[in-house]
Amino acid sequence: MADAEETDGKPKAKSAMLVMAAGLLTLTFLGAGGGWLVGTMIAPNVRSAEQAEEAAQTASASAEDKKEGEGGLPHISTEANNVVQLEPITSNLAYPSENWVRLEVALLFNGPPDVKVAEDIHQDVLAYIRTVSLQQIEGPRGFQYLRDDIQERVDLRSQGRVSKVMFRTFVIE
């Protein structure tokens, strides 16, 4: 009976520890192998993204060299696509008056662009922005209301010659 206790106590503790160590070692190798496999599948995509970014930087540098005499980035607005980009609108809000808004808008005309109508729309949007409070334009619903109000004002001012108002930037400070 003493032999049974001796053989049961010592060898089982060593074998359990040995099995647990072997299991941990196996799981470690499986985890490392899986990580290596996933890493090799993702790494080509990361490298291609870095190469694309470098190509874009060199392309923009060459474009800047070409446009250096023009004084800035080229606008999307041309008479060929009937788009007129308005000058940026910067104004303070009605309430709180210490908050400022900057808005860049482009107009899509149905026919050939009319510069006089575009200037009138610019002034009308500027006057409207000065009457808006921060609470009116908070959140996505408020921004949608602002877009709808500006589209309505543009429709009234242009008498249907402008089909769409495109927001390029909208920043509140």
Domain spans, the chain: 1-74, 83-172
Q: Which two tokens stand for residue 133?
A: 């409070």
Q: Which two tokens stand for residue 154?
A: 């543009």
Torsion sign (Cα): 46, 52, 54, 57: negative
The pLDDT of residue 50 is 60
Say which CATH topology domain 83-172 has.
Answer: Tetrahydropterin Synthase; Chain A (3.30.479)
Higher pLDDT, 41 or 119: 119
Whether 16 shows a pLDDT value over 90: the answer reads: no
The pLDDT of residue 8 is 53
Provide the 8-state DSSP code for 76: S
- Cα–Cα dist 167/21, whole Å: 62
The pLDDT of residue 68 is 46
The pLDDT of residue 6 is 54
Q: Which two tokens stand for residue 145?
A: 């209301």
- Which residue type is seen at 56? A
Contact of 85 with 77, CB cutoff 8 Å: yes
- Cα–Cα dist 55/113, whole Å: 35
Contact of 106 with 166, CB cutoff 8 Å: yes
Kindly report the pTM of this predicted structure: 0.55
Q: What's the start-to-end Cα distance of the chain, in Å? A: 86
